[in-house]
Amino acid sequence: MENKKIIAVVGGTGAQAKGLIHAILNDSEGGFKVRAITRNAGSDKAKELAKLGVEVVEANVEDKATLVKAFKGAYGAFCVTFFWEHFSPEKENQTAKNMAEAASEAGVKHVIWSTLEDTRKWIPLSDDRMPTLHGKYKVPHFDAKGESNVYFEKSGVPYTLLNTSFYWENFIYFGLGPQKGADGNLAITFPMGDKKLPGIASGDIGKCAYAIFKAGKEYQGKTVSIAGEHLTGNQMAEAFSKHLGVDVK
């Protein structure tokens, strides 16, 4: 065990981290062990990780010094932010910068940044088909992550940019599941037409991240985009109809 490389996982009690932590724990021959980084090592979720034999370390993504300390001795670092906690693109930028700089200062050998596309590359601010929010964003939680890629690209640490996609769990936890209309029927009301939405189970993001770490240099300096399926609204409705046993439009 002592010869295994450490992967430090930011947001250690979060959805993406859970998949990565369990992927590492379930791979006894993989040559890696995990260090979960969380703001509160005394939380119930953190205690559950400790019971599994996970090293749990406290750090605050808003305090770079705590991150440097938490990253020390780690081979890899998985970095992620949670926009929905604060709804601030500026905080996204700053915490991403803190993590990138901390990884560099701690001597991390490979960092994975869980990110999203900057939608302004396709929908410029001058395009009024979508409103401009916070003065300079079209989709703030996408754009802020995408523009933060530069911190990792310039950090000097071998990096992989991991473009994630829609969590299928959002149908449960974000209230995006089928809703009853005025006619009493369930329907999904995404304005997609015949276009497909890439989606993934949040736990599978962590599994993909672990495969990237295990691949060594193969994905360093690259962007990797992942999805479990690409489904139209009708295909999603069909899946709900099958599993709920009622007709969903």
- Quick one: tokens of 55? 């090293």
Q: What contacts 131, CB < 8 A, 6 or more positions away?
A: 138
Q: Work out the number of other CB atoms within 10 angstroms of the CB of residue 95.
A: 26
What is the distance between the alpha carbons of residues 113 and 156, in angstroms, rounded to a whole number? 14
Taking a C-beta distance cutoff of 8 angstroms, is the pair 93, 35 a contact? no
Task: Please tell me the predicted confidence (pLDDT) of residue 2.
Answer: 63
What is the distance between the alpha carbons of residues 173 and 162, in angstroms, rounded to a whole number? 23
Task: Please tell me the predicted confidence (pLDDT) of residue 249.
Answer: 86
Q: What is the pLDDT of residues 9-56, one digit of tens each?
A: 999 999 999 999 999 999 988 899 999 999 999 999 999 999 999 999
pLDDT > 70? residue 1: no
Q: What is the pLDDT of residues 59-83, one digit of tens each?
A: 999 999 999 999 999 999 999 999 9
Task: Please tell me the predicted confidence (pLDDT) of residue 6.
Answer: 98
What is the distance between the alpha carbons of residues 141 and 195, in angstroms, rounded to a whole number? 21
For the residues 89-109, what does the mean pLDDT come to? 97
Q: Work out the number of other CB atoms within 10 angstroms of the CB of residue 124.
A: 11
Predicted TM-score of the model (pTM): 0.94
Secondary element (H or E) of residue 208: helix 202-214
For the residues 211-232, what does the mean pLDDT come to? 97
For the residues 76-104, what does the mean pLDDT come to? 96
End-to-end alpha-carbon separation of the chain, Å? Answer: 52
**Lowest-pLDDT range of 71-75, 219-223, 237-241:** 237-241
Secondary element (H or E) of residue 58: strand 55-58
Task: Please tell me the predicted confidence (pLDDT) of residue 112.
Answer: 98
Q: Work out the number of other CB atoms within 10 angstroms of the CB of residue 156.
A: 11
Pairing mode of beta strands 186-187, 76-79: unpaired
CATH architecture of 5-165+201-227: 3-Layer(aba) Sandwich (3.40)
